[in-house]
Amino acid sequence: MITYLGKKIATMDDVDLSGKKVLLRVDMNSPVDPKTGRLLDVSRIVEHSATVRELVERGASVVVMSHQGRPLDSDYVDLRGHAEALAKLLGAEVKFAEDVAGPHARALIESARPGEVVMLDNSRFMAEDNVEAPPEKHANGYLVTRLSPLFSYFVNDAFATSHRSQASIVGFPLRIPGVAGRVMERELRALNRVLEIAERPKVFVLGGAKLDDTLKVVKHVVESGIADEVLTTGLVAVMFLMARGTSVPKDVEAKVMSKISSDLFQEAKELAKRQEVKTPVDFVVEREGEVSVAHTSSISGAPKDIGPSTVEYYKDKLARAKLIVMRGPAGVIEDPRFRAGTEALVRTALASKAFTIFGGGHFISMASSLPPEERSKVGHVSTGGGALLYFLSGSVLPGLEALAKSNEKFKIVQ
């Protein structure tokens, strides 16, 4: 049993799973090569494979469900590659269903024997899994009502999606007993401890391209005083620079504005007035294949990494921090020409005396490529990107709330 905001959540230790059919929600959302659709990194699959293995060893029939990407994005692909990667890690067959709740999935679920593993296709191929709605509504939706009668238990291992009130996260635990999986459990135990760290300054390094989520989190951590400084990188930094009146090339501006509503951009303008929000002084930019360094007052190409002066500026702040949270890469790290900024910030964070948390897919893979002596200096590697930040900013995570409700409803642990 673990606790979340004082409420009890049952874990896999609290239930007898032998011979039971288990729906295991994981977050195997991974970077994908936009040209080939192939997986670029399997770190999240590695994390969840241990939970799958334990369920198999305990004699459950395991049906794995995950989302991948968002509709119309280049990483919105089917999960055949994920199923193959999981099978390789387990050294066992993983049957792949070419739908989520259709005839193929249902037939495979119904025929799954104890110890067998089935993987359903991308849960976001179902419209409902892209909709934020109250748990009670999702519990009565198509996906949940169609699949839940086929299962005895719902195991939620998807900490990284627990900030979403989507069908596959919050609907099932209201219909069938829901417990936390091992990844979820580990995250909660580590992050509950992090909340107790009182020393300051607390520095958040926030980058990547998920502007809407990151903006909400910046607002929360700055306004509530949780973060003393937010060092922005990546597209997040470009958004704040635009909010501060910096002009950027038209196509870059269009990219930012395509990811954020005009209301949220107004919020960014308000937040940009806060001195806690730091923005880069230079970028590594690419223009017609040429790479150069541009001061932020004259950005002449597409920003692909933070520049060397920004690295120095941010390093100084990280060296003095007591808690560092890093989420979202500082540049397009898939391309070796644009990794230097992120790598320099990571090295500085690990050389500091701060408790350092890495969050999100890119940082998990970065952590796994570090030599063991450096990796051991990372306080916690979280599978969560947005979820981690929402958790640390004190927001209620719907996925965890739903597990707590499930425990109350089905009285799994008292």
Residues from 203 through 242 that contact ligand 3PG (CB under 6 A): 210
Name the minimum Å distance from CB 212 to ligand 3PG.
Answer: 9
The 68-107 site mask, x for binding ligand 3PG (CB under 6 A), equals --x-------------------------------------
Residues from 259 through 288 that contact ligand 3PG (CB under 6 A): none
Binding segment toward ligand 3PG, per CB under 6 A, in 10-18, 157-165, 184-192, 262-270 = 157-165
The token pair at 204 is 């958040």
Q: Which helix (H) or strand (E) holds 410?
A: helix 398-410
Binding segment toward ligand 3PG, per CB under 6 A, in 6-14, 45-53, 159-167, 198-206 = 159-167
Q: Which is nearer to ligand 3PG, 69 or 141 (CB)?
A: 69
In the set 386, 404, 405, 412, which binds ligand 3PG (CB under 6 A)? 386
Name the minimum Å distance from CB 361 to ligand 3PG.
Answer: 6
Q: Which is nearer to ligand 3PG, 301 or 386 (CB)?
A: 386
Question: How open is the CA angle 250-253-257, to the nearest 5 degrees?
Answer: 135
In the set 156, 161, 342, 348, which binds ligand 3PG (CB under 6 A)? 161
Q: Which is nearer to ligand 3PG, 173 or 386 (CB)?
A: 386
ω into 149 cis (within 30 of 0): no
Number of residues counted as binding ligand 3PG (CB under 6 A): 10
Q: Which is nearer to ligand 3PG, 159 or 410 (CB)?
A: 159
Name the minimum Å distance from CB 299 to ligand 3PG.
Answer: 27
Q: Which is nearer to ligand 3PG, 22 or 160 (CB)?
A: 160
Name the minimum Å distance from CB 375 to ligand 3PG.
Answer: 21
Q: Which helix (H) or strand (E) holds 286?
A: strand 282-287
In the set 385, 389, 390, 403, which binds ligand 3PG (CB under 6 A)? 385
Q: Which position's Cβ is nearest ligand 3PG?
A: 29
Contacts of 254 (CB under 8 A, 6+ apart): none
How far is residue 149's CA from residue 352's CA, in Å, rounded to a whole number? Answer: 51
Q: What is the DSSP string of 81-97?
A: HHHHHHHHHHTS-EEE-
Residue 94 has φ and ψ, to the nearest 5°, of -125, 115
End-to-end CA distance of the chain, in Å? 9
In the set 160, 237, 318, 381, which binds ligand 3PG (CB under 6 A)? 160
Spacing of C-alpha 189 from chain mean position: 17
Contacts of 302 (CB under 8 A, 6+ apart): 249, 251, 252, 285, 286, 287
Residues from 113 through 142 that contact ligand 3PG (CB under 6 A): none
Spacing of C-alpha 163 from chain mean position: 9
Cα torsion 315, 316, 320, 321: sign: negative
Q: Which is nearer to ligand 3PG, 48 or 278 (CB)?
A: 48
Work out the number of other CB atoms within 10 angstroms of the CB of residue 197: 13
C-alpha distances in Å from residue 244, one per residue of 24, 181, 249, 340: 44, 43, 15, 26
Residues from 10 through 69 that contact ligand 3PG (CB under 6 A): 27, 29
Residue 351 has φ and ψ, to the nearest 5°, of -85, -15
Q: What's the residue count for the chain?
A: 414
Name the minimum Å distance from CB 98 to ligand 3PG.
Answer: 22
How far is residue 203's CA from residue 216's CA, in Å, rounded to a whole number? Answer: 17
Name the minimum Å distance from CB 73 to ligand 3PG.
Answer: 8
185 belongs to the binding site for ligand 3PG (CB under 6 A): no
Residues from 319 through 378 that contact ligand 3PG (CB under 6 A): 361
Tell me the sheet residues that pair with 24.
Answer: 64, 155
Q: Give residues in contact with ligand 3PG (CB under 6 A).
A: 27, 29, 70, 160-161, 164, 210, 361, 385-386
